[in-house]
Amino acid sequence: MERIGHYIGGKHVPGESGRRGPVYDPSTGQQTHEVDFADTAELGQAVDAAREALPAWRATSLSKRAEIMFRIRELLDERKTDVATVLTSQHGKVLSDAMGEVQRGLENVEYATAIPHLLKGGFSEQVSTGVDVFEIRQPLGVVAGITPFNFPAMVPIWMCANAMACGNTFILKPSEKDPGAALVLAELFADAGLPDGVFNVVQGDKVAVDAILEHPDIRAVSFVGSTPIARYIYTNGTANGKRVQALGGAKNHMIVLPDADVDMVADAAVSAGYGSAGERCMAISVLTGVGKVADTVIDAIADRLPKIKVGPGLDPESEMGPLITREHRDKVASYLDSGSAQGARIVADGREHQLYKDSPGFFLAPSLMDNVTPEMDAYKDEIFGPVLSVTRAETYDQAVDLVNRNPYGNGVALFTRDGGAARRFTFEVEAGMVGINVPIPVPVAYYSFGGWKNSLFGDAHMYGPEGIRFYTRGKVVTQRWPDPAKSTVDLGFPRTR
Ligand code: NAD
């Protein structure tokens, strides 16, 4: 069985802890690799390598760092199919979707190429007689990223592009379910001229994560994953004095007002509900129809479902691939049973698909449930799979109230042709990312990504301007160049007037 190991100080390093986990091809259900699980000592080696690389990398000029980011950008563009293929073979998402993931990651590298501009500080001349003040932002040191299975290339790039451009050295702990893409990135960064030790990969599970949270030389931790783990990372990381941003799970609603175009709504709901088999933190999980519009929308969605081609991610005909593991697929499917038992109407059951019945792969076809209510498990839990729930609201206010009462606040979308309603919604809704007739409002790289409530712990959103701020700390310098001949003793507190 081929092994996937660590990447430390510019070298592939096989794990020595003796602990390993399986990596599957979700479309065949076969195990293809074993991934090494780091212990505390192996994480320590990565920190040593990152600490050793830090002084020279910190001192590397901004234009040189920008040049390396430009080279990474070019190589990532050239090799996007290689990255996407590895990603598809371990995650299961269809290749076109994996290419989209790489492209959205690439945007973050493009943003980081502007690092000389992004790190410009402020300068105030003559704040007092002959005194000037300037502010600079400096890197934190060694920082770490812990990432989820569902975006094995894009989410690491969300973090490391800005972190490295700011002058930090980086340790990535990817998901143990699809750890291969991280090593492809490590090799690509090295080929682009990134010095050894600036980007390191430590594979593993909770043991490696806890070692990151406890290591005194790791200054900051970026996390993306489920809400319980995000809360754990935030609580423990900050207790150990680290700066932490921890993005959690989601339950994204799409509210449909009666004036919306039904076909456009159905196209958007199907794309955003079932793309990547619903394994996106910005996937639409609940469609809330206001008034009678839900009846026509459900019919329009149901019409589209049989036409979605479910199949292996590397088959160019496939539009939706398998789920990440058999256990996860079965858990997702179980919401159809609990939903039905709790009073929902199953409009489409993905277990009726041939691939669910016959294939050893982890397939579940698009599933649709109507009359879902907030008390049901299918509403309360983040399903994270191709099961779309439909709820109904009598009024706009009821629909917004539903979203605002939900403990998650990642993304939300409103479909309408009424600009006034859209503006009011933007003002009132409690979520970090809002789409108006856009079902998956993932911000472009020059804004920042982050939810509210249980979708984010910490006060910094990820990438974009907030990412630059997260990976740096401010320093304010007050300076004067006085004439020594005029120097006096003054015990008063320094005044500006
Ligand atoms: P996960 O929380 O299970 O795992 C995320 C990371 O945490 C992995 O690296 C994993 O190894 C580690 N981990 C898992 N269990 C741990 C434990 N007990 N202690 C310490 N570390 C642990 O998440 P996942 O299943 O890989 O990813 C799916 C989840 O991520 C969904 O909830 C999804 O909404 C969320 N997500 C959120 C965003 C966002 O931006 N808010 C983006 C992508 C995914």
Residue 494 pLDDT greater than 90, yes or no: no
* Residues with C-beta less than 6 Å from any ligand 1 atom: 146-151, 173, 175-176, 205-206, 209, 224-226, 229, 247-250, 281, 382, 384, 410, 451, 455
Q: What is the pLDDT of residues 74-118, one digit of tens each?
A: 999 999 999 999 999 999 999 999 999 999 999 999 999 999 999
Q: Residues, the chain, total?
A: 497
Distance 146 CA to ligand 1 centre (A): 8
Exposed, middle or buried, 395 (CB in 10 Å: 0-12/13-18/19+)? exposed
Residue 301 pLDDT greater than 90, yes or no: yes
Distance 418 CA to ligand 1 centre (A): 37
Q: What is the pLDDT of residues 416-428, one digit of tens each?
A: 999 999 999 999 9
C-alpha span between 366 and 385 (Å, rounded): 9
Q: Which of 50, 159, 93, 104 is nearest to 461 (CA)?
A: 159
Question: End-to-end distance of the chain based on CA atoms, in angstroms?
Answer: 74
Q: What is the pLDDT of residues 222-238, one digit of tens each?
A: 999 999 999 999 999 99
Dig out the tokens for 32 from the structure.
């293809």
pLDDT at 495: 84
DSSP 21: E
Q: How many helices (H) and strands (E) does the chain have?
A: 17, 23
- Residue extents of the structural domains in the chain: 2-248+455-477, 252-436
Catalytic residue among 281, 368, 399, 402: 281
> What average pLDDT score do residues 459-483 get?
97
- pLDDT category of residue 359 using cuts at 50, 70 and 90: very high
Residue 496 pLDDT greater than 90, yes or no: no
pLDDT at 215: 98
C-alpha span between 86 and 88 (Å, rounded): 6
C-alpha span between 169 and 256 (Å, rounded): 45
Q: What is the pLDDT of residues 42-71, one digit of tens each?
A: 999 999 999 999 999 999 999 999 999 999
Q: What is the pLDDT of residues 370-380, one digit of tens each?
A: 999 999 999 99
Contact 171, 246 (CB under 8 A): no
Q: What is the pLDDT of residues 163-215, one digit of tens each?
A: 999 999 999 999 999 999 999 999 999 999 999 999 999 999 999 999 999 99
Contact 7, 204 (CB under 8 A): no
Q: Which residue has the tokens 């790039």?
A: 157
CATH of 2-248+455-477, one of 3.60.20.10, 3.40.605.10, 3.30.70.580, 3.20.80.10: 3.40.605.10
Residue 21 pLDDT greater than 90, yes or no: yes
pLDDT at 130: 94
Where do the DSSP E strands lie in 167-277? 169-173, 199-201, 218-224, 243-247, 252-256
CATH for 252-436? 3.40.309.10
Residue 344 pLDDT greater than 90, yes or no: yes
DSSP code per residue over 51-97 = HHHHHHHHHS-HHHHHHHHHHHHHHHHHTHHHHHHHHHHHH---HHH
Question: Could you tell me how far CA 271 lies from the centroid of its own chain?
Answer: 19
Q: What is the pLDDT of residues 111-149, one digit of tens each?
A: 999 999 999 999 999 999 999 999 999 999 999 999 999
Report which ligand 1 atom has the smallest distance to the Cα of 250.
34
pLDDT at 360: 98
3-state secondary structure of 237: helix
C-alpha span between 147 and 165 (Å, rounded): 19
Q: Which of 336, 455, 330 is nearest to 388 (CA)?
A: 336
